[in-house]
Amino acid sequence: MSDGLLDTRRERAVALGRKLGLAAAPVALRAAFVGATGGGPIAAAVGIVGGIAVLMLATSVRTPRGALVGGLVTTAVLVLMLMAVHWLVTHPIE
């Protein structure tokens, strides 16, 4: 792993692709699982929100391991968001 200063465009593109793939894999698996269990619109929302977060994450981390950890954290945050929305829908404010 280098600092990227002397990398060619191809090497930078490959590194970005690797980081994008590692960051997007957990989010994509979560969206696929939600879609497979019958939550079509929710899976689309998870994919869109997670995709935006993954784009920001993959362009800001330095290492592929950081991208993977960030993808796992993003997935955990999305699960917590889904749980909060579910609770708010099932417990309306009276």
Long-range pairs of 27-33 with CB within 8 A, sequence gap ≥ 24 = 27/51, 27/53, 27/54, 27/71, 27/74, 27/75, 27/78, 29/75, 30/75, 30/78, 30/79
* Parent domain of 39: 9-90
Give the Cβ contact number of residue 69 at 10 Å: 16
Q: What is the pLDDT of residues 25-84, one digit of tens each?
A: 999 999 999 999 988 888 999 999 999 999 999 999 989 999 999 999 999 999 999 899
Q: Is the pLDDT of residue 15 over 80?
A: yes
Asked, for residue 1, whether it belongs to a domain, the answer is: no
Amino acid at 94: E
Asked, for residue 2, whether it belongs to a domain, the answer is: no
Based on the structure, what is the number of domains in the chain? 1
Asked, for residue 56, whether it belongs to a domain, the answer is: yes
The structure's pTM equals 0.83
Indicate the burial class of 72 (C-beta count within 10 angstroms; 0-12, 13-18, 19 or more).
middle
Q: Is the pLDDT of residue 19 over 80?
A: yes
Asked, for residue 4, whether it belongs to a domain, the answer is: no
Q: What is the largest CA-CA distance in the chain?
A: 61
